[in-house]
Chain A
């Protein structure tokens, strides 16, 4: 099994550009989430989903959109990139709808916005 796959690994954007970070899991997990990791701030929850067609906001949702049309995929869209969105982004999934089982993380996408 591949687990949680994130693409791309690295990305550089100019302010105002848009892009989509891809996340796919092959474990048939119901719960998926996006976190951003910034120095000294740990991981902060951006958006999450408890199943196909169901998404909701986390702690820091502004500037990001998500959708969940299939169980496997949970893309994160940056509508108009800003330097404050420079970060490392992690996608994670878990069986069930409550992440009290281990969260399975991807290896991250390092995004720089200039």
Chain B
């Protein structure tokens, strides 16, 4: 089964500064990758996904991510963050289990705190 590793558990950044949240995946022939966001006391929402095609994926709220096969990475970026971006961000991979079913497996999360 494939997995993802989020390298930073917490990332503080000043408002209007750029941010990058890092995610590495275990290599495979084909890989489907996702970023989800969780605001306080809520469930997760999809930010963006990579299934195939262009390696630069644009999502909601001004976020984008780049699929890099050689570095097995799928880092999330935003050029200028707002206070409202404060949340926890999860990288996820679609992986086939031993029973042959496909499920979504999540990383441990990165808490982004935007400082006024």
Residues of chain A whose beta carbon lies under 8 Å from any beta carbon of chain B: 4, 33, 35, 40-45, 48, 50, 56, 58-59, 90, 92, 98-100, 102-103, 105-108
Q: SS class of chain B's interface: helix, strand, loop or mixed?
A: strand
Question: Is residue B9 within 8 Å, beta carbon to beta carbon, of the partner chain?
Answer: yes
Question: By CB atoms of chain A within 10 A, which of B9, B103, B106, B107 has the most?
Answer: B103
In the complex, the answer to whether B43 meets A106 with C-beta atoms within 8 Å is yes
In the complex, the answer to whether B43 meets A92 with C-beta atoms within 8 Å is yes
Q: Enumerate chain B residues within 8 angstroms of A35, measured Cβ to Cβ.
A: 106
Question: Is residue B61 within 8 Å, beta carbon to beta carbon, of the partner chain?
Answer: no
Q: In whole Å, how far is A83's beta carbon from the nearest beta carbon of chain B?
A: 22
A44–B105 Cα gap in the complex (Å)? 7
In the complex, the answer to whether A105 meets B49 with C-beta atoms within 8 Å is no
Q: Enumerate chain B residues within 8 angstroms of A50, measured Cβ to Cβ.
A: 101
In the complex, the answer to whether B103 meets A105 with C-beta atoms within 8 Å is no
B1-55 residues at the A interface, CB under 8 angstroms: 6, 9, 32, 36, 41-46, 49, 51
